[in-house]
Amino acid sequence: MTHKDLDVWKRSVIFVTSIYEITKSFPKEDIYGLTSQIRKCAVSIPSNIAEGGARKSKVEFRQFLYISLGSAAELETQLLIATNLNILEVNDSKLLMEELNAVSRMLQGLIKSLNIS
């Protein structure tokens, strides 16, 4: 089994695609600011799942899952800021937050399962 078999990895990759699609409409002058940060954090979630899955131990894998969870928390903050600045529409923000929360719960569940076994 690899990271590609994990539902959380699959879902977070799809989520990144949504982030890129929505941030295409962000102001062009912000491309190196908040837009870039949002995209980097989103990409970091499945990337760290993949990197952790390639490690040799559950302890290392769990650590990378925690990094993914941290990126999710950072992304939540950035999405709130974008919403407060009226860069991100409230409806889009709500949908992205719901999906981000679902991915975060999946990460927490996977971390918990690694703690048990």
78 near 37, Cβ under 8 Å?
yes
pLDDT tens digits, one per residue of 13-39:
999 999 999 999 999 988 889 999 999
pTM of the entire predicted model: 0.94
pLDDT in tens, 63-87: 999 999 999 999 999 999 999 999 9
Domains assigned to the chain: 3-116 (1.20.1440.60)
